[in-house]
């Protein structure tokens, strides 16, 4: 029987049988080359049709929420700290107004572990929903740049037809306007990225000051602008297919229980055009599936694939094809969900989403890492003190028959305000602490302060062997940290000290 699904043609057609109906379908053509490349490897420019529908509206609302967070993140401040900042240059990070320093590497490492574990669990359960709904690349491409393109050049098929024709004035001004807007937007995005890297205050300095003083910063502004322009104006979906490693390793994470955007082949095959005179029931009785071959799911796809070919690496789970197919089903009076969010198991067996042991294992790991992260964040001090005995120093006889040891103290102030520091002897020892080099020891904000400490102890406080001393670090009468070290006396010179 001749193929009655006019949308699936091409070289290497195969004859297959579904519900007793033979079809000639080129099933394998999509395996030979990427959707965005011809067989000779040259780029196939995509002109996706404007998406619309229920899921698209949700996606748009979510995307705009993300866009607001992305663009305000470095500028919104909590207690003087940016909401979000990744200052790689100074190795200083701010998350929700909490400043993290190189000394907090362990917290950062755990945060990264939690983040990646989250992605793994999420992908195992819900496929690449992140890509289509939350990835900054897709959000900016589909919700900002593509929308502008639709505004200036019209819907995908219109723009495609114009591009296939000769260069007219209308085409020239549209292209010029589009690329100017793209360049301007890329400049804004580039500057926002720069403010994530160096902080919004440093960015403002670059903008306000003499350009001669900030040639490096200006160089990065231009570089980031050009990179983003290249990505959003030219590279587009290729970034997801060729560069993003997430798309590559998804095949290791997906299984038949993963919920993905999927075409219900049991219901849809064999495909056949819609006939007015044939009811849905008659169509089914004739062995024809619900897919009418309208290709709306294909023309709307921003990565150029045909979801009916199964789960594919290029699919970013944007759900545009679900909306498109639902619109067709609505028009023809058939139930929605021929293309839907479902697991392959769910489609073949009708089974609901199952929690697999692998997902439970990942979730357990995530909870453990989350607890560790919370513990590290909540027990993290505003200052970090290191106390070392002065190299090569011995004990000294001090006034009143006391013995003294000389230490070097280093205090890192992780806050955005100056902290006056005092030292007190703890653990019931009698003696005193002198800060050498000035009475007031104030550690400036975001800086490291260093002083020499002379610790004097009464002989009655000394232990026969090593004497452990605890020194409380106080600021304005409030204890903020305690450090422990060893005190060297006449009988303890050989004892290990720090």
**Which one of residues 317, 404, 405, 475 is an interface residue with ligand SF4 (CB under 6 A)?**
317
Give yes or no for a contact between 83 and 77, defined as CB atoms under 8 angstroms apart.
yes
325-344: contacts with ligand SF4 (CB under 6 A)? 325, 328, 338-339
261/342 with CB nearer ligand SF4: 261
Give yes or no for a contact between 141 and 63, defined as CB atoms under 8 angstroms apart.
no
Q: Which stretch binds ligand SF4 (CB under 6 A): 95-103, 220-228, 318-326, 449-457?
A: 318-326
Work out how close the CB of 51 gets to ligand SF4 at its nearest, in angstroms, rounded to a whole number. Answer: 8
Number of residues engaging ligand SF4 in binding (CB under 6 A): 30
Does the footprint of ligand SF4 cover residue 23 (CB under 6 A)?
no
Work out how close the CB of 173 gets to ligand SF4 at its nearest, in angstroms, rounded to a whole number. Answer: 31
Q: What is the dihedral of CA 490, 493, 496, 498, to 10 degrees?
A: 80
117/328 with CB nearer ligand SF4: 328
Buried b (16+ CB within 10 A) or exposed e, 442-468: ebeebeebebebbbbbeeebbeeebbe
Does the footprint of ligand SF4 cover residue 86 (CB under 6 A)?
no
- The rounded distance, in Å, linking the Cα atoms of 33 and 172 is 32
111/318 with CB nearer ligand SF4: 318
Work out how close the CB of 322 gets to ligand SF4 at its nearest, in angstroms, rounded to a whole number. Answer: 7
Binding mask 293-312 for ligand SF4 (x = CB under 6 A): xxxxx--xxxx-x-xx----
Work out how close the CB of 377 gets to ligand SF4 at its nearest, in angstroms, rounded to a whole number. Answer: 36
Binding mask 247-276 for ligand SF4 (x = CB under 6 A): --------------x-x----x--------
145/263 with CB nearer ligand SF4: 263
121-140: contacts with ligand SF4 (CB under 6 A)? 132
User: Within a 13 Å sphere around the CA of 473, how many CA atoms are in the beta-carbon half?
Assistant: 24
**Which one of residues 121, 203, 259, 315 is an interface residue with ligand SF4 (CB under 6 A)?**
315
Does the footprint of ligand SF4 cover residue 120 (CB under 6 A)?
no
Work out how close the CB of 341 gets to ligand SF4 at its nearest, in angstroms, rounded to a whole number. Answer: 9
92/128 with CB nearer ligand SF4: 128
> Of 102, 82, 106, 105, nearest to 94 (Cα)?
82
Binding region for ligand SF4 (CB under 6 A): 132, 261, 263, 268, 291-297, 300-303, 305, 307-308, 315-321, 324-325, 328, 338-339
């Amino acid at each position: 029987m001749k193929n009655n699904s006019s949308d699936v043609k091409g070289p290497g057609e195969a004859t297959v049988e579904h519900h007793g109906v033979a079809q000639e379908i080129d099933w394998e053509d999509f395996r030979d080359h990427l959707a965005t490349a011809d067989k000779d490897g040259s780029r196939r420019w995509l002109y996706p049709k404007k998406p619309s529908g229920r899921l698209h509206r949700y996606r748009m609302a979510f995307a705009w929420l993300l866009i607001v967070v992305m663009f305000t993140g470095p500028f919104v401040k909590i207690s003087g700290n940016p909401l979000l900042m990744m200052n790689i240059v100074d190795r200083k990070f701010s998350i929700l107004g909490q400043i993290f320093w190189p000394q907090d590497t362990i917290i950062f490492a755990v945060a990264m572990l939690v983040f990646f574990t989250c992605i793994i669990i999420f992908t195992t359960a819900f496929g690449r929903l992140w890509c289509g709904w939350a990835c900054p690349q897709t959000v900016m491409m589909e919700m900002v740049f593509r929308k502008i393109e639709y505004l200036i050049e019209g819907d995908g098929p219109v723009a495609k037809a114009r591009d296939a024709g000769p260069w007219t004035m209308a085409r020239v001004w549209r292209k010029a306007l589009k690329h100017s807007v793209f360049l301007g937007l890329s400049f804004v995005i580039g500057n926002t990225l720069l403010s994530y890297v160096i902080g919004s205050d440093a960015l403002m300095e670059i903008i306000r000051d003499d350009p001669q003083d900030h040639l490096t910063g200006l160089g990065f502004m231009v570089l980031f602008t050009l990179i983003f322009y290249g990505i959003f104006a030219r590279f587009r979906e290729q970034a997801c297919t060729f560069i993003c490693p997430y798309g590559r390793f998804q095949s290791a994470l997906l299984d038949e229980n993963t919920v993905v955007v999927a075409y219900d082949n049991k219901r849809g095959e064999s495909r056949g055009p819609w006939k007015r005179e044939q009811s849905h029931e008659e169509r089914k009785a004739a062995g024809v599936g619900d897919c009418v071959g309208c290709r709306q799911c294909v023309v709307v796809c921003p990565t150029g694939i045909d979801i009916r070919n199964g789960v594919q690496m290029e699919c970013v789970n944007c759900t545009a094809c679900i909306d498109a197919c639902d619109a067709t089903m609505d028009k023809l009076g058939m139930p929605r969900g021929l293309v839907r969010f479902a697991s392959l198991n769910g489609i073949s067996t009708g089974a609901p989403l199952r929690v697999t042991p692998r997902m439970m294992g990942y979730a357990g790991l995530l909870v453990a890492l989350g607890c560790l992260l919370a513990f590290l964040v909540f027990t993290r001090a505003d200052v970090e003190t290191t106390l070392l005995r002065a190299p090569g120093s011995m004990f000294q006889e001090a006034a009143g028959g006391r013995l003294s040891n000389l230490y070097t103290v280093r205090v890192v102030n992780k806050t955005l305000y100056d902290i006056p520091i005092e030292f007190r002897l703890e653990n019931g020892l009698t003696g005193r602490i002198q800060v050498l080099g000035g009475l007031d020891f104030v550690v400036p904000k975001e800086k490291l302060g260093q002083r020499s400490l002379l610790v004097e102890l009464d002989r009655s406080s000394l232990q026969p062997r090593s004497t452990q001393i605890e020194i409380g670090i106080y600021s304005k009468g409030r204890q903020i940290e305690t450090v422990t070290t060893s005190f060297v006396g006449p009988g303890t010179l050989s004892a290990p000290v720090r």
